[in-house]
Structure 1
Amino acid sequence: MLLESVWRTGLRSWNPIANKLLVLKHPRSFSVNSPVHGPRWQRYLRRTGYLGLGVGIIYGFDRQFNASAIGRNLRTLWACALITAEYKMNFTPEKSDQIPELHERVANIMFNLFTSNGGLYIKIGQAIGANAAFLPKPMQVKFASLFDDAPQIPYSEVLSVFTSEFGRPPSGPGGMFEYFDEHAVASASIAQVHKARMWPGPGEAEGKGQWVAVKVQKPAVAKQTEWDLGAYRIVMWLFEKVAFDLPVYFVVDFVSDHLRRELDFELEAENAQRTAAYVANDPRLSKTVYIPRVFPALTTKRIMTAEWIDGVRLSDRDAILRLMGELPGASRPLRGGTHAIMQPMVELFSAQMFLWGWVHCDPHPGNVLVRPHPAAPRTPQLVLLDHGLYVQLTEEFRRDWCAVWEGLLAGEWGVVDGVTRKWGVGMPDLFASAVLMRPVRLGRGRPQRDPTEERGKPLEEMTNYERSVMMKAKLKGFLIDTDRMPKVLIFLLRNMRMVQGNNKTLGSPVNRIKITGLSASRALARRTHADLRTRLYEYYHYAFFRAVMLSIDLAFWLARTRQWLWHTLGLGRDGMGFEDEIERSVRGLAKTSFGMDVGADAFDG
């Protein structure tokens, strides 16, 4: 027994595993307080080390092989937890005076999340920012600076994408192109563009191949997509059910589906070809708009090749004004001024909405080039880029959309009320103002009510908390049945917002509302299979509509005259255009009716 006791004692001193086995075998041999595992702090330190090692292994694997998708999701959930806690604890009547600071903190959290995660988060943030006018002012400011820009990926990653898609390098012996610039000319959140030269065709000399733009998807995007969209789904659910109590989750499936499509470059090439065919068949647009040719043989789901176009981006305002002769600096300015740019642009997107039912949803100024027309070098031509995001309108919706526009401009309450009820949209006045981007009060039989009666007391006497609650109630009253609401409205309103911003940036050279309204009305009057009585009524209705449009045209030309006069007198013309006046009216309507403090740049494209 003595030898056995000595043996056990020595074994415990050097073999912890054997020690545990002995405890199990001879439990009575040890007291409860026996230091079998050492001091408690050592056990905690050891467990902390194991935990840190496990977290490090997961982090390294996630970063190296999973494009940091798990880390991005954890960052998202943490941001959501912070936002939810902020609103739950600080959005109270007692802290009404601190609500502006609350919105500022939340805006910073959201902006930092989108910019830190990048990729699809930039696209999601832009989708939210497209309707920034309905958000608190700090969020308007933050989302206005959320650009689709990102650092370039190294050429080694571009090479890996080419090898994966084509089994060949971009250039060099056996390469896809005769020349391929390893440095991207532009880099966005999901892809970057390189300039390349194709191999010469039959009969062409070396170095005479066509120049092309090669769009390469960043490798991390494919790994991050489903993780990001899953996080987006959770975020929207939390915002609706926990944080804000607003109907926002209903758009998740629709938006997610279109973001996935935007990552398929073969689909983007098909979109470009389809739009090019529409433009070519339009006698007017075919002379003013161009869609770059794509090369299907050099296009895959992650690489797209299109012809290279030299031009000035619409986002470079001063360069555009010089090109069109409205600023000094161009040796041979193009004719027509900025009017010759915006007229075809508004006509193009009006045709997409009202005639084709096929709508480009990302017409921001970086996606539009202006160049001298190849067949008429003194005439400008618009070049539309980036065809990844389109929506297809059903024939029923297209006709309803035309009817809504015509009814809004003619002030026909019955038409607008009927369509908006069909769509599950309440508060037609608010809907009309959002569509036209101008204050609208619909009449013709609509019972008028003093807005202050609904609120119980004047807006100026309300606290920040009471204004926020009122605005939330207004927005919930706007979306009364999200199951019936056409989801394409999200992208259509985004499209129109951007076109309006482009027109404003160039000094409002065209009456955007008139051009859009006339296009909608003409599309309605084109029913060739309707009976004679219906067609006669539609043409009569169109003539009446034209008479109503005269008042809008008069207001536009008064604004243009004042703008010209101020410029002639050397007082400047910025902020004096027709779009600027409309925005001031909308901001006033938002302030007096909804308590919303809309920033001056909330409507920029």
Structure 2
Amino acid sequence: MLAALRHAARFARVLWVLKRHGAWFAVRRLGPLPWPARLLVSLAALPAPGRDDEADEGKRLVAALHALGPAYVKLGQTLATRPDIVGPGLAVELGALQDRLPPFSGEAARKVIEEDLGQPVDSLFPRFDDRAVAAASIAQVHKARTADGRDVAVKVARPGIRTQFARDLDAFAWAAKWAERLSPEARRLRATDVVETLREGVERELDLRLEAAAASELRETMLGEPHYRVPEIDWHRTARRVMTMEWIDGTPLSDMATLDARGHDRHALAERVVQIFLKQAMRDGYFHADLHQGNFLVEADGTLVALDFGIMGRLDRESALYLAEILWAFQERDYMRAAKSHFKAGYVPGDRSVADFAMALRAIAEPVHDRPVEEISAGDMLAQLFATTAAFDMETQPQLLMLQRSMVMVEGLASTLDPRVNLWASSRPVIESWIRDQYGLEAQAADTLIEAGRSIGRLPDLARAGARLLERAERDGLPIDPRSLAALKGPDRPHPMTAGVIGALVGALIVLLLS
């Protein structure tokens, strides 16, 4: 009972802050509330008249979340990945939610480092700058130098942040549970699932070893990529609350004036951002998913360096193929192919009309072809897409939600660098190359081998099924027409399994010749 009262008091403050920042629309859109919630809302709203006009709703909600603290900032970032819940327009606004907070003291940072690494800071870093160069909700970054003369960036978790998040997440879970009991709309939106997704994401970010592992994996997959790289992790100086990586001297992607003064080609940078993201998503199935300007630096030679790997996305090969086919079809204005790809992937129910779905996709894509990003509203386009998928009973695909959010973010990042950049034109070389690799001769041979292996794996089951059929025939006298036997045998055709083995051998030969 006492815990419930504490949670209720916290949410009374939340409602008050929402009202004060003019974000009351977020409460109104919950629909009819049960009487206990209405009473709490009424009491919370009394001391905070606030403004509640319809302009800039997303910006006002972002300001309210910042005022509420780190857990609410993370909640907003999580909801940005769920346009099916908050709507495409608000998802775009929340996608720009910056995770910035005032720094904590250098003395506190030193204490965390010594507790987690078990050595004095001076022995780990003979030079350590107590002033943080960046501060967010979970951690902040200090510049330091190791004994061998390397400059490094040391990311240190906020003291007590795990306890603070645990308290707020427990309150979220309590509110979500009661909301689902009392509100059909909350049940439809799966409020408890949203909170659980948030909890899992925060748990990953609170362990800086996992962020270090994410950076290390992305670095490996992107080795050799021209003009793009990921800093190297110093694993000997990394622990649960401390992550050390090489220091990068570069210009923030947000500093347009300095980029121009140093002669960097912003159009080329915009295209690189788009193309690198598509390569990571489609080719590698592992992509940087926190694509705002503060997470990139540009080195003197124009190399783009990624930072902050707390939010990453994964895409399996089937989903990557679907993405490539859809993008390629849109590039070629082949909307029937795009529609068939949706049906083939099982994203649209098979009883719906492929032709009608193709026409709906045409209505979305044609208006944006050959137009610069500055003339295209990503929010409007997503709104049309979600309205279309809802009309065709297309279920939300969890594996694509992070991808959709990231695509909106990368488009916004590219358009900030150069409003004239064309997203379709920038992505075309990557899509063409990847499709050629996936559907070329070697890829087809590899797929043939995989399918043959699956067929061989099914042989024991087929044999057992055949034995059961023969036993039944002997026991029950199952009649088989002689013409059926003749048809099964066929005129001197090789056995299906023989054909499969031959196909596999030919595929293996092709792979050997091409390797």
TM-score interval, smaller chain: 0.5 to 0.7
Alpha carbons of structure 1 residues 275 and 70: separation in structure 2 relative to 1, 3 Å:
farther
Please say if 1:194 is aligned against 2:107.
no
- What CA distance in whole angstroms lies between the structure 2 residues aligned with 1:162 and 1:225? 20
The number of residues matched between the two structures is 399
Please say if 1:404 is aligned against 2:326.
yes
Instruction: Give the stretch that moved more between structures: 225-234 or 158-167.
Output: 225-234
Please say if 1:185 is aligned against 2:133.
yes
Alpha carbons of structure 1 residues 268 and 116: separation in structure 2 relative to 1, 3 Å:
same
Equivalent of residue 108 in structure 2, options 121, 146, 157? 157
Alpha carbons of structure 1 residues 156 and 394: separation in structure 2 relative to 1, 3 Å:
same
Q: Which residue in 1 is equivalent to 2:156?
A: 216
Q: Which residue in 2 is equivalent to 1:339?
A: 267
SS in 2 for 1:526: helix
Q: Which residue in 2 is equivalent to 1:10?
A: none
**Aligned-pair distance for 1:410?**
2.6
5+ unaligned residues in a row in structure 1: which ranges? 1-50, 60-68, 91-99, 201-208, 325-333, 374-379, 441-469, 535-605
- What CA distance in whole angstroms lies between the structure 2 residues aligned with 1:117 and 1:529? 51
Please say if 1:299 is aligned against 2:228.
no
SS in 2 for 1:525: helix
Task: Deviation per CA, 1:370-418: give whole Å up to 9, x if none.
Answer: 1113xxxxxx111111122212211211111211211222333444334
Q: Which residue in 2 is equivalent to 1:261?
A: 204
Contact map agreement 1:159 1:170 (CA 8 A) in 2:
yes
**Aligned-pair distance for 1:158?**
1.5
Q: Which residue in 1 is equivalent to 2:408?
A: 497
Please say if 1:530 is aligned against 2:441.
no
- Which residue identity lines up with residue 331 of structure 2 in the other structure? L
Looking at CA atoms only, which structure, 1 or 2, has the larger radius of gyration?
1
- What CA distance in whole angstroms lies between the structure 2 residues aligned with 1:262 and 1:128? 17
Alpha carbons of structure 1 residues 400 and 236: separation in structure 2 relative to 1, 3 Å:
farther
- What CA distance in whole angstroms lies between the structure 1 residues aligned with 2:363 and 2:137? 29
- What CA distance in whole angstroms lies between the structure 2 residues aligned with 1:473 and 1:500? 18
Q: Identity across aligned pairs (percent)?
A: 25
**Aligned-pair distance for 1:142?**
7.1
Q: Which residue in 2 is equivalent to 1:308?
A: 247
**Aligned-pair distance for 1:435?**
9.9
- Which residue identity lines up with residue 359 of structure 1 in the other structure? F
**Aligned-pair distance for 1:220?**
2.9
- What CA distance in whole angstroms lies between the structure 2 residues aligned with 1:307 and 1:107? 36
Task: Deviation per CA, 1:108-131: give whole Å up to 9, x if none.
Answer: 884455223322321321343567
Equivalent of residue 369 in structure 1, options 274, 288, 297? 297
Q: Which residue in 1 is equivalent to 2:314?
A: 392
Alpha carbons of structure 1 residues 101 and 185: separation in structure 2 relative to 1, 3 Å:
closer
- What CA distance in whole angstroms lies between the structure 1 residues aligned with 2:117 and 2:268? 42
**Aligned-pair distance for 1:420?**
3.3
- What CA distance in whole angstroms lies between the structure 2 residues aligned with 1:339 and 1:195? 31
Task: Deviation per CA, 1:329-369: give whole Å up to 9, x if none.
Answer: xxxxx5xx223322332221111011111111012111111
**Aligned-pair distance for 1:166?**
1.8
- What CA distance in whole angstroms lies between the structure 2 residues aligned with 1:438 and 1:252? 37
- Which residue identity lines up with residue 232 of structure 2 in the other structure? R
Alpha carbons of structure 1 residues 318 and 369: separation in structure 2 relative to 1, 3 Å:
same
Instruction: Give the stretch that moved more between structures: 232-241 or 258-267.
Output: 232-241
**Aligned-pair distance for 1:503?**
1.8
SS in 1 for 2:300: strand
Task: Deviation per CA, 1:272-304: give whole Å up to 9, x if none.
Answer: 122222221x4xx2x311211110010012110
Please say if 1:115 is aligned against 2:26.
no
Q: Which residue in 1 is equivalent to 2:465?
A: none
Q: Which residue in 2 is equivalent to 1:487?
A: 398
**Aligned-pair distance for 1:103?**
4.9
Q: Which residue in 2 is equivalent to 1:416?
A: 338
Alpha carbons of structure 1 residues 342 and 86: separation in structure 2 relative to 1, 3 Å:
closer
User: Normalising by structure 1, what TM-score?
Assistant: 0.56
- What CA distance in whole angstroms lies between the structure 2 residues aligned with 1:265 and 1:398? 28
Instruction: Give the stretch that moved more between structures: 357-366 or 521-530.
Output: 521-530
- What CA distance in whole angstroms lies between the structure 1 residues aligned with 2:412 and 2:56? 28
SS in 2 for 1:515: helix
- Which residue identity lines up with residue 258 of structure 1 in the other structure? G
Contact map agreement 2:76 2:97 (CA 8 A) in 1:
yes
SS in 2 for 1:212: strand
Q: Which residue in 1 is equivalent to 2:227?
A: 288
Instruction: Give the stretch that moved more between structures: 105-114 or 409-418.
Output: 105-114
- What CA distance in whole angstroms lies between the structure 2 residues aligned with 1:402 and 1:473? 19
Contact map agreement 1:404 1:419 (CA 8 A) in 2:
yes
- What CA distance in whole angstroms lies between the structure 2 residues aligned with 1:182 and 1:347? 38
Contact map agreement 1:77 1:235 (CA 8 A) in 2:
no
Alpha carbons of structure 1 residues 300 and 522: separation in structure 2 relative to 1, 3 Å:
same
- Which residue identity lines up with residue 389 of structure 1 in the other structure? I
Contact map agreement 2:273 2:414 (CA 8 A) in 1:
no
Task: Deviation per CA, 1:153-197: give whole Å up to 9, x if none.
Answer: 1234323322321233423xxx42101111101111211100111
Alpha carbons of structure 1 residues 109 and 531: separation in structure 2 relative to 1, 3 Å:
closer
Contact map agreement 1:75 1:113 (CA 8 A) in 2:
no
- Which residue identity lines up with residue 165 of structure 2 in the other structure? T
SS in 2 for 1:304: strand
Contact map agreement 1:153 1:218 (CA 8 A) in 2:
yes
**Aligned-pair distance for 1:496?**
1.6
Contact map agreement 1:186 1:194 (CA 8 A) in 2:
yes
Please say if 1:513 is aligned against 2:424.
yes
Q: Which residue in 1 is equivalent to 2:390?
A: 477
Contact map agreement 2:339 2:361 (CA 8 A) in 1:
no
Contact map agreement 1:342 1:509 (CA 8 A) in 2:
no
Contact map agreement 2:267 2:418 (CA 8 A) in 1:
no
SS in 1 for 2:412: helix
5+ unaligned residues in a row in structure 2: which ranges? 34-50, 350-355, 370-382, 449-515
